[in-house]
Structure 1
Amino acid sequence: MYDVNDTLFISVPAEEDQENPWLRGAWRPQGKEYAVSGDELTIIGSIPEELDGIYVRNTHNNATTPTGIYHPFDGDGMLHAIRFRDGTCEYRNAFVRTTGFLAEQGAKKALWPGILQPQEYQRRGWGSMGSMKDNAGTDVIAHAGHLIATMSQGSEPWCLSPDTLETLGPNKNWAKLVPDGLSSHYKVDNATGEMTFFNYPQKAPFMNYGVVNKADNLVHYVPIELPGPRWPHDLGMTEHYSILHDLPYFFDEELLKKGIHKGSFHDDIPARFGVIPRYGTSADVRWFEAKPCWVMHLSNCFEDGDWVVQDGCIWDNLVKPPVGVEEDAHAIYARIRRNVDMHPTGAHLYRWMFNMVTGEVREFPLDDEVSEFPVISNDVVGRPYRYSYNALFEKGEWHLNGLKRYDLHTGEAVRLEFGPGRWGSEPAIARPAGSSAEDDGYCIVFITDLIQDRSECVIYRADDLTGDPVCTVILPERISVGTHSCWVEGDRIAGEGRAAR
């Protein structure tokens, strides 16, 4: 089967006519949707017979010409999915058909400003600022038989079929119960099938926290009182707790009252991490103070006796988008480039430890090399674990140029570099049924090769990143670099209830 849908309205100028650096090169968007079986794909090597599941990655892939300054995280959500089963594969990609996307398709033009110019909005928007299109282009995860795609500020919980990528609409069971939406980095506990999530509206109490059970019912949703509006990005989860972030980056509250978003990092205010029982309330949160920082992505969290441990990538030097500024496009492009370059942030793997009995906090680096987008096996989310697979970055760019696997038991690490002009995405760890060790499986990643003008799905052994790829699947078109990904085990495609290994 080789189906192509090219009936959508696409008005982004061709790459050769494009001035915006975030709409050309590695960021060039696609306008076509494909459904391709393995018989129509070039496959180098052999797909492992025991590999059963779906690798899905989200992508900011704009369909219409932007109304103003375009930031690379403004683009419409597009999912790329490759299904593996019995030594075969199928590839699909599709736009997430949010309300905003469909409205712009109907109008045949952009209707909302991007993240840098929220003050330019002309109609109601979504997200914590309430002025952007709900692009659902940041995160993707599987829960209760469907994929859920969102943007980082908070989307409606957009559900898609894991088999066809058809947009099914906001979650029918509980979307109406969470009017402030679903922020990126919701977590699924494979042992219970529960999903924890949060959002952060710019109105009191400034955060909400919830739990959806394995039957896809909202069973817990409570306000979390913060000192003011914040811009957190991730949420921790352990067997019994969740970890909420109150970080010293936030907008000036007086200017916010005038609709002006001026964000600042306050290096004299401690970071606060709130440990809450999975079914706790704001009154149950234990707040722990740590050195001022910002945290974009966590590797994992777990319990160790009296300690709750949080591993993630700490940013020593916060670099955020120039929201609301008035500058010419080329000056803004330079600032965006610095914003998306991970090296000025100093992001590196770090550990925080919170003692639930004494209140003690311990924190220390696990590595000093710049890395981000850490991923682990789904089977150890919220539990003690050994391996974190982090993305490495090209200096001066956002491009992911390799991976680094950390062995947190021995302190050893191994590196994988994709090669010149080859830019990857967040990988996923796929453990087949019957696998024994945490790294007994595969590391899967989409790579866009600008030199060969193609994109690939590349499969490595998770326990041997330095070896040759097990298999490479050539995709039908070069795809834009993207954001987050997930692995959906074959026995989780239809719903939760998988036995934890």
Structure 2
Amino acid sequence: MMGIERIKTTLGDNDHPYRNGAWTPNFDELDASNMEIIGTIPDDIDGLYVRNTENPVHDSIGRYHPFDGDGMIHTMRIKDGKATYRNRFVRTRGLEAEQEEGGPLWVGIMGRPSDSKRPGWGAHGSVKDSSSTDVSVHAGTILSTFYQCGEGYRLDPDSLETLGVESWVPEDGISAHPKLDENTGELLFFNYSTTAPYLHYGVVGADNELKHYVPVPLPGARLPHDMAFSENFAIFNDCPLFWKPELIEQNLYIPSYHPELPTRFGIIPRRGQPEEIKWFDAKPTYVLHWANAFEQGDELVLDGYFQNQPVPPPLTDFPAGYESMGASIDLHSFQPELHRWRFNLKTGETREETLFDDYPVEFGMFNQQMAGKPYRYVYSVTGEPGWFLFNGLVKHDLETGVAERLDFGEGRFGSEAPFVPRIGATAEDDGYLISFITDMVQNRSECILIDAQNISAGPVCTIILPHRICSGTHATWASAEQLDGI
């Protein structure tokens, strides 16, 4: 195990619920290959597991939200039945400036924009682009992204060295969730802002060059978090939860839910123009994340996580000032369930149904070789009541309606669990699910691999990490071919 120069931090003891416990940040950057293994690392996979993490380095200006933390990338390289772990901070321009300053310079998403000491980033231009939300692998490198809209940072998948801001990113940045189509090598993205036309959509080729960029006009400033795509279309949403327009004029950004408005979906050909967008109305809700989308006859089918309580009641047992924030990121409060929308591209009709409603689920993953195509399986997380912590997984069989569940165990919290195809796989679920686990009982972290065809059996392999890592959310798996064979 090799340690790297420790980053400078001014974060001291505090009682914030998302800077302690499973969310205690890390400051050490490590390389490790000689780790304790429980079970046997499968020798029929070859690739890289990558997870992004909100990991604050300094105290906050104003109230801290867990989505504000500085980006830290954790990876596990698996090849020939062996594993190597590495973690590094994303050296964003904001992090480097605060390292030089020796303290925080920007407010977070719960702060007052006027309290930032310098102009910032994000859809409202005042927060730090911490690049700590999502992560993907495109054109042979890692791309980390920010919760609202940011610059997008490239990292070397082997060393995790930050290579800098992505060259093709437009002035309004890119949202947290660009979408990779493994079948074409294209990366689809969008951004949003407080000025008309309020949303743009773009396509980056497999060669990492911007190929297409067009406006998607909206009625006003919105807060879309994710997008989806099928083989021929990209899908955007205009949900009735958005910043209060009258407060934007006062440089305040407070979201409000408008259940009297429908949820609207804009469907555009993947290289289409604004005049080709078709809009569909559906039941009011808010959706953080989509699963997959595909075309079926005249219909486009979209799966995602419908929220039954987009603005839930505050958590009464949370620290003062954080009651509403706590509820807004607790699955049991906003009550998401796996939902399906069907848009008839000829008649303009929308049909929708709930697929599974046994318990709240979110952060769905699926076999990315099926992206944009008809598929059968979704792998969702379950949440710890009252917390933004994932305590288990559910395998949803969309064909039979059967849900198979795995509980991580008391005090054990995981992250999004990407699907890892076996080499030579012959079935959609022939492979593994992979996740980092933070175990608060044993005071350690692990990387687990689960047989996707039998998830209730638990891990087939557990790799003990060299340190306990902060809880995290979004993750991806990239095959050796996607990594150019590193």
Return the TM-score normalized by structure 1.
0.94
Aligned counterpart, 1:363? 352
- Output aligned runs, 1:376-455, within 5 Å: 376-455=366-445
Determine the C-alpha separation between the residues in 2 that align with 1:492 and 1:306: 33
Residues 231-262 of structure 1 show CA distances to partners (whole Å, capped at 9, x for unaligned) of: 01110110000001111111122221111222
Aligned with 2:441: secondary structure? coil
Residues 418-462 of structure 1 show CA distances to partners (whole Å, capped at 9, x for unaligned) of: 000001111110002210101000000111000100000000101
- Output aligned runs, 1:471-490, within 5 Å: 471-490=461-480
Determine the C-alpha separation between the residues in 1 that align with 2:242 and 2:326: 21
- Output aligned runs, 1:72-83, within 5 Å: 72-83=66-77
Determine the C-alpha separation between the residues in 2 that align with 1:427 and 1:129: 31
Determine the C-alpha separation between the residues in 1 that align with 2:434 and 2:233: 29
Aligned counterpart, 1:160? 155
Aligned counterpart, 1:325? none
Deviation of 1:263 after TM superposition, in Å, equals: 1.5
Return the TM-score normalized by structure 2.
0.97
Aligned counterpart, 1:28? 24
Which one of 445, 448, 455 corresponds to residue 458 of structure 1?
448
Deviation of 1:334 after TM superposition, in Å, equals: 2.5
Aligned counterpart, 1:238? 230
Which one of 337, 348, 360 corresponds to residue 348 of structure 1?
337
Counterpart residue identity of residue 370, structure 2: V
Aligned with 1:219: secondary structure? strand
Aligned counterpart, 1:102? 96
Deviation of 1:321 after TM superposition, in Å, equals: 11
Instruction: Give the % identical residues.
Output: 45
Determine the C-alpha separation between the residues in 1 that align with 2:187 and 2:270: 10
- Output aligned runs, 1:180-259, within 5 Å: 180-259=172-251
Deviation of 1:121 after TM superposition, in Å, equals: 1.9
Report if aligned partners of 1:6, 1:31 keep a CA contact under 8 Å in 2.
Answer: no
Residues 283-317 of structure 1 show CA distances to partners (whole Å, capped at 9, x for unaligned) of: 11100000111000111111111110000101121
Residues 392-435 of structure 1 show CA distances to partners (whole Å, capped at 9, x for unaligned) of: 01111111010000000111110000000001111110002210
Which one of 275, 280, 285 corresponds to residue 288 of structure 1?
280
Aligned counterpart, 1:9? 8
Determine the C-alpha separation between the residues in 2 that align with 1:405 and 1:431: 15
Report if aligned partners of 1:372, 1:390 keep a CA contact under 8 Å in 2.
Answer: yes
Aligned with 1:192: secondary structure? coil
Determine the C-alpha separation between the residues in 1 that align with 2:247 and 2:85: 47
Deviation of 1:7 after TM superposition, in Å, equals: 2.7
Deviation of 1:494 after TM superposition, in Å, equals: 2.2
Aligned counterpart, 1:117? 111
Aligned with 1:103: secondary structure? helix
Deviation of 1:219 after TM superposition, in Å, equals: 0.3
Deviation of 1:171 after TM superposition, in Å, equals: 1.7
Aligned-residue RMSD, C-alpha: 1.4
Aligned counterpart, 2:171? 179
Deviation of 1:320 after TM superposition, in Å, equals: 7.8
Counterpart residue identity of residue 98, structure 1: T
Aligned counterpart, 1:299? 291
Counterpart residue identity of residue 332, structure 2: H
Distance 1:118 1:433, change over 3 A: farther
* Moved >4 Å (runs of 4+): none
Determine the C-alpha separation between the residues in 2 that align with 1:455 and 1:434: 30
Report if aligned partners of 1:118, 1:129 keep a CA contact under 8 Å in 2.
Answer: no
Please say if 1:372 is aligned against 2:362: yes
Determine the C-alpha separation between the residues in 1 that align with 2:319 and 2:383: 23
Aligned counterpart, 2:44? 50
Deviation of 1:344 after TM superposition, in Å, equals: 1.7
Deviation of 1:350 after TM superposition, in Å, equals: 0.2
Determine the C-alpha separation between the residues in 2 that align with 1:415 and 1:442: 15
Aligned with 2:303: secondary structure? strand
Deviation of 1:194 after TM superposition, in Å, equals: 0.7
Report if aligned partners of 1:200, 1:207 keep a CA contact under 8 Å in 2.
Answer: yes
Report if aligned partners of 1:402, 1:417 keep a CA contact under 8 Å in 2.
Answer: yes
Aligned counterpart, 2:321? 332
Determine the C-alpha separation between the residues in 2 that align with 1:277 and 1:252: 31
Determine the C-alpha separation between the residues in 2 that align with 1:320 and 1:89: 42
Distance 1:253 1:320, change over 3 A: farther
The number of residues matched between the two structures is: 480
Which one of 133, 141, 148 corresponds to residue 146 of structure 1?
141
Residues 353-393 of structure 1 show CA distances to partners (whole Å, capped at 9, x for unaligned) of: 00001111100100112100000111011111100000001
Determine the C-alpha separation between the residues in 1 that align with 2:65 and 2:311: 14
Aligned with 1:21: secondary structure? coil
Counterpart residue identity of residue 471, structure 1: C
Determine the C-alpha separation between the residues in 2 that align with 1:316 and 1:86: 45
Which consecutive residues of structure 2, in runs of 5 or more, have no partner in the other structure?
none
Which consecutive residues of structure 1, in runs of 5 or more, have no partner in the other structure?
323-328, 496-501
Aligned with 1:430: secondary structure? strand
Deviation of 1:50 after TM superposition, in Å, equals: 1.2
Determine the C-alpha separation between the residues in 1 that align with 2:326 and 2:251: 26
Report if aligned partners of 2:199, 2:216 keep a CA contact under 8 Å in 1.
Answer: yes
